[in-house]
Chains A and B, each alone.
Chain A
Amino acid sequence: MNILSKKHIFTILFTLLWATSAAQTYTISGSVIDSVSGETLIGAAVMDMRSGKGALTNDQGRFSLTLKSDSVRLRVTYVGYQPVFEDILLKSNQKRNYSLRSSVELKTVVIKSERVDNARSSQMSAIQVPVEQLKSVPVLFGEADLVKALQLMPGVQSGSEGNSGFYVRGGGPDENLFLLDGVPLYNVSHMGGFFSTFNTDAVKNVTLYKGSFPARFSGRLSSVLDVTTNNGNDKQLHGNASIGFISAKLNLEGPIRSERTTFSLSARRTYADFLLQPLVKKLADNRDYKLRAGYYFYDINGKLTHRFSDRSRLFASYFMGSDVVYTRIRTLATDVQEQYLDFNTRWGNIVASARWNYELTPKLFMNITGSYTRYSNNVGVAYETETLATEETESTTSEFKMDYLSLINDFSLRADFDYTPNPDHLVKFGTSYIHHLFQPEVSSAHLNAYSAEMMNSSYIIDTSVNSGSTRAEELTAYIEDDWSINQAIKVNYGLNVSGFAVDHTFYPTLQPRLSGRVMLRDDFSLKAGYAYMTQFMHLLSTTSVSMPTDLWVPVTATIPPMHAHQVATGLFYEISAIGDLSVEAYYKQMHNLLEYKDGASFFGSSEKWEDKVVLGDGWAYGVELMLQRNIGNLTGWIGYTWSRTMRLFDRPGQELNDGNPFPAKYDRRHDLSIVLSYKINDNIDLSATWVYSSGNAATLSLQEYAQAQETANEYADIDPNGWNGYISQSSGRNNFRMPDYHRMDISANFHRKFKRCSRTINVSVYNLYNRKNPYMIYESHEHTWNGYNGALVQLSIFPILPSVAYTLKF
């Protein structure tokens, strides 16, 4: 972007801002909350029915509506809630707080699932899914999972079977920004990716942006998942406890000081490690050999909210989630010698944040957020030998320990402002600073060896490699305006300015954003958007499975930031009284993408990560179709995506696939998901999903040839027939397609209300017709008695899996 165009952008922005603040008006401001829990409602609509002007509540449930007329009729609505009406004689600025009653409570309307403002919003490529609906989608082991439910949306692809990672419009799994109460999370997976870290009991609101990103978001190329957690009930103590197939959960919320201070606390832990102990013991528990092994994950969400006044609120949030694998093998080597082998792995996030929300003026809200994020993974191996004392010798101990540690610590400070000069404009602006501390690869070893040769003494070696840490500073400023030009045309335009300083190198970026809609009819609109995104961090992953060995690394002096241009357009139609239909098409170009070199992986390598990767480019395009039914006892959606995603690594010395384009690992031509929920009565509801997708791409080496033999190895045992020393050759990266994937899941919820509580029994079946979907396909080479057998082997996981969960609400 040249200097002239930068000047133009700034001139336009400030002219518009000045123009919008000129009129003499009065402002109604306040918040919209749930009448029972006191939770703020995000995205509630406050509209003057006389002028047709309106506003939506922001992330803090606040609104500001500036109107000219002196007599207004306000209507406050929120999906799933009974609307509220109020007549106001507007002669001065007004404060209004509205409490809406849930339709479920009133038994009037079935909860409606909704995409963001559908046809009328200037925002496109965004999905907002009610948490209650997410919970009803049948999933693996009956464990409600926010990310898995989002994978059923068009444009969002799951990785391999059961994986909670997702791939949005041709982007990689590291190109998604996960925000938990506005604070980025690095790792959102548990159990190798089979579950996400978001405990749905703690979640209030979820919005996924796939493109046309507003300027306030930056840092990732492909998507933003904005998750807001519950503030906590400000009237009385409530909670729920549930026990499922693999985990138990507890959620408590309530007032500490009525209508002033509230808390919300959610915790979840798997217990497979306890239940599997008898099996583990059965495998190995005797005098000579003992095995103790297990795996579990847990997460804790906590939030404190304090209301100083109607204008001022303080939020303190804490999240901790971790996965732990432990193994200890004790072997009795001799009567006097025992050997211990320990393998322990732990990885996870900690996020702590404090946010102060203050209404500076009726038109201007402020949010100040300070946060700390830590992501770490630690792999430790220890080998210990204990020799008991004998008549001739004293007892001795030798030990060897090795640790691999990867750490990211982020400290950030952020200020966000919402300015509503009049109903035609909503201006958001702000700035943030993040201090990153990366320690991507720290390997340390400790040897404490006993030596008889050294006069029965010990010697100790401590060493560490790649222990250097990298510090980086990230600065961002943004401004955006959501401008209703007239009844038909609305645009959202903005600019994000970011910079990243690392290794004495500074990467500045200007990221313009633009999206808009034209109402073609009252229920039919055309939208288009453009977004330029930059990403200063990469996730190095050799697998399709989320592993603790995945490595988050920053850009460096030699590894530049990734960046992407995305354009999208679409038609949006509200089908009256039923739901809506949308068709979107997108094209995305990505640059400076990172891939491991052929054959390189995290495992068994002494190279620095920068020496194991190559840089390249990519592009993706596709069409997404969404048909959604929101009203009635039968709700759900059908989502279909046709897409193509390619990679090109042809820079000198960094070629992959001989410098020719190749399909990305998750390039899929077709993705179809059908999600249906049917409410039989107040006590029973049923859900079913069916998903179908084209097979994943994989690289298979289908040809083999003899390896050149060196005569210096003349004594080596080399088979002249070439069984040893052969080279596998593929015809290209991702040259093979796995079989298509399809699966059906069903679930039923049985509700019952008691005097002081209610219970829900969830029965679900994952993979109802026991389809053996490919998780991985690899070439197998086996020596047999008459030579050699090659075969293609498919690994499938998760056959038909029934599960039951019990939830008690009080």
Chain B
Amino acid sequence: MKHSHISHPSFPLSVFRFPLPILLAVLFASCEKVVEFDIEDTERQVVVNALPCADSTLFVNITYSRFFLDNQPFAPVANATISIDANGVTYAATNRDGANYIFPYQAAAGDTLTVHVNVPGHDEIIGGTRIPPLPAMDSLTAEIDTLQPITAGNISFNLDDPEGDNYYYIFILERDSGSRWNNWEEKWDTIDTVRHAYFNCLNHEVTNPEVNSAEGFMDYFSMLLFNDANIDGTNTKITLTLSMFKDTAEHPLMRQYTLVVESLSKDAHQYIKEINAASGMTSYFAEPSQIYSNLSSGLGIFAGIARRQIPIVFTYKEQEPAISKSPSRPAR
């Protein structure tokens, strides 16, 4: 495929009025240009993505990959024939909206699944996984520590790790809702966004070495991803500390927090770990990450997870925070 050749000299000619600065600047100036290469446009591959979750209806997303110079969204694969073998029972999927296929099946912890995807013109794609057990956790507390110079919210719980190889993924979703002053338009905006909250974790047995390395600086994370090598078969207290800033009394921001604790299959753990490593790659010079796939003849992932989502609401008063008293519940 040939692509256009556009040159962008980066240096403004007007500065030639200053001979010495320009002469010196040229020494360090770089020249970037979009270049034309004869690169083989690689054949599109079928991409199968599914993270079957315990107690959730199973969706599988199927798309085509794209050449990196394409200015197109990922094309959905709407004509796939897809089936799941779950503990020896086969289920067929129905296409919901082009790329997404839904199964009349809800995964359960311990289920063994195999997916078969057939797309005309491509080899059959096969992948298998096992749904891990729900993470066992108790003694959840959440309190605001006003004695620290910066108000801190501490979320603690005990993680009861069963025998055998287990993998975990923990993060906190933060929902910002309320109003915020818009300097540009000089008015108050209503906001409602959800993002990963940053937190401290001093449990080095779970933060080293597999935590999201790009964001793991000074024990400050947006997520914890770890295997149980250091906590195998033990009951470990994990404390996550959020930095919380007070807002103005006139327009308080109300933030809601959701603690998400997931058990991962080995495949899911490897996939998420590599995705995080790739997204955190800040060096132009590092070799690109190759993301793990457990599918034959295709790209993507088919790996089981089991999730607990626990809503936690902090108030901004110097007293015990209000915590959802309902018992831990599985994901919807």
Contacts and interface: CB of A to CB of B under 8 A. Distances in A.
Interface stretch (A112-120, A487-495, A606-614): A606-614
Contacts of B280: 604
Nearest to A665: B287
B330 to A, nearest CB: 12
B31 A801 contact: no
B124 to A, nearest CB: 18
A419 to B, nearest CB: 49
Given A706-B49, A712-B173, A726 B74 contact: yes
A666 to B, nearest CB: 14
Contact of A604 (B32, B217, B274, B309): B217
Contacts of A602: 283
Contacts of A801: 26-27
A601 B301 CA distance: 25
Interface string B99-132: 0000000000000000000000000000000000
Given A599-B274, A727-B275, A801-B27, A707 B214 contact: no
Interface string A767-792: 00000100111111100001111111
B67 A703 contact: yes
A631 B211 CA distance: 65
A600 B27 contact: no
A708 B271 contact: yes
A279 B287 contact: no
Nearest to A779: B68
Nearest to B37: A792
B67 A702 contact: yes
Contacts of A727: 275, 278, 291, 299
Interface in B33-53: 33-35, 37, 39, 42, 45, 47, 49-51, 53
A797 B31 contact: yes
Interface in A692-737: 699-713, 715-717, 721-723, 726-731, 733, 736
A598 B66 contact: no
B65 A703 contact: yes
B328 to A, nearest CB: 14
Contacts of A717: 193
B45 to A, nearest CB: 7
A309 interface: no
Interface in A726-758: 726-731, 733, 736, 739
Contact of B49 (A657, A699, A707, A723): A707
A298 B300 CA distance: 52
A542 B73 contact: no
A799 B211 CA distance: 44
A386 B213 CA distance: 32
B88 interface: no
Interface in A97-130: none
A339 interface: no
Given A599-B277, A778-B284, A795 B31 contact: yes
Contact of B21 (A278, A776, A777): A278
Given A453-B149, A600-B286, A793 B45 contact: no
B47 A599 contact: no
A589 interface: no
Interface in B132-190: 146, 149-151, 171, 173, 175
A770 to B, nearest CB: 10
B24 interface: yes
B16 interface: no
Interface residues of B, number: 82
A445 interface: yes
Given A705-B300, A793-B35, A606 B213 contact: yes
A275 interface: yes
Nearest to B20: A275
B221 to A, nearest CB: 10
A791 B288 CA distance: 17
Contacts of A786: 71
B56 to A, nearest CB: 7
Nearest to B289: A599
A790 B71 contact: yes
B213 A542 contact: no
Interface in A545-570: 545
A678 interface: no
Nearest to A792: B35
Contacts of A141: 27
A705 B47 contact: yes
Contacts of A604: 213-215, 217, 280, 282
Given A607-B213, A792-B34, A793-B32, A787 B53 contact: no
B42 to A, nearest CB: 5
Nearest to A657: B290
A804 to B, nearest CB: 11
Contact of A601 (B47, B151, B281): B281
A776 B286 CA distance: 12
A437 B291 CA distance: 37
Contacts of A606: 208-209, 211, 213, 216-217
A499 B53 CA distance: 54
A721 B66 CA distance: 12
B30 interface: yes
B229 interface: no
Question: Counting chain B CB atoms within 10 Å of each CB, which of A245, A717, A794 scores highest?
Answer: A794
A605 interface: yes
Nearest to A275: B24
A172 B64 CA distance: 39
Interface in A600-659: 600-608, 611, 657-658
A453 B146 CA distance: 9
A275 B22 CA distance: 11
Contacts of A35: none
Nearest to B286: A601
A708 B50 contact: yes
A794 B35 CA distance: 6
A349 to B, nearest CB: 23
B293 to A, nearest CB: 9
A542 B282 CA distance: 12
A449 interface: yes
Contacts of B96: none
Interface string A383-396: 00000000000000
A660 to B, nearest CB: 12
Contacts of A716: 194-195
A411 interface: no
Contact of A712 (B67, B73, B260): B260
Given A722-B74, A792-B34, A705 B45 contact: yes
A272 interface: yes
B228 to A, nearest CB: 18
Nearest to A780: B34
A706 B215 CA distance: 23
A705 B299 contact: yes
B309 to A, nearest CB: 7
Interface of A: 141, 245-246, 272, 275-276, 278-279, 282, 445, 449, 451, 453-454, 459, 463, 542-545, 595-596, 598-608, 611, 657-658, 699-713, 715-717, 721-723, 726-731, 733, 736, 739, 772, 775-781, 786-797, 799, 801
17 contacts: A453-B150, A454-B149, A463-B218, A542-B283, A596-B286, A601-B283, A607-B209, A704-B66, A706-B47, A706-B61, A711-B53, A729-B291, A739-B35, A794-B32, A794-B33, A795-B31, A796-B30
Interface of B: 3, 20-21, 24-27, 29-35, 37, 39, 42, 45, 47, 49-51, 53, 56, 61, 63-74, 146, 149-151, 171, 173, 175, 193-195, 208-209, 211, 213-218, 260, 262, 271, 274-275, 277-278, 280-291, 299-301, 305, 307, 309, 331
Of all A-B residue pairs in the complex, the 3 with the closest CB atoms, nearest first, are A715-B194, A599-B289, A721-B73
Given A705-B63, A715-B173, A715-B175, 18 more contacts: A272-B24, A454-B149, A598-B277, A598-B288, A598-B289, A605-B216, A658-B290, A703-B66, A706-B47, A708-B300, A711-B51, A712-B171, A721-B73, A722-B73, A727-B278, A794-B32, A796-B32, A797-B30
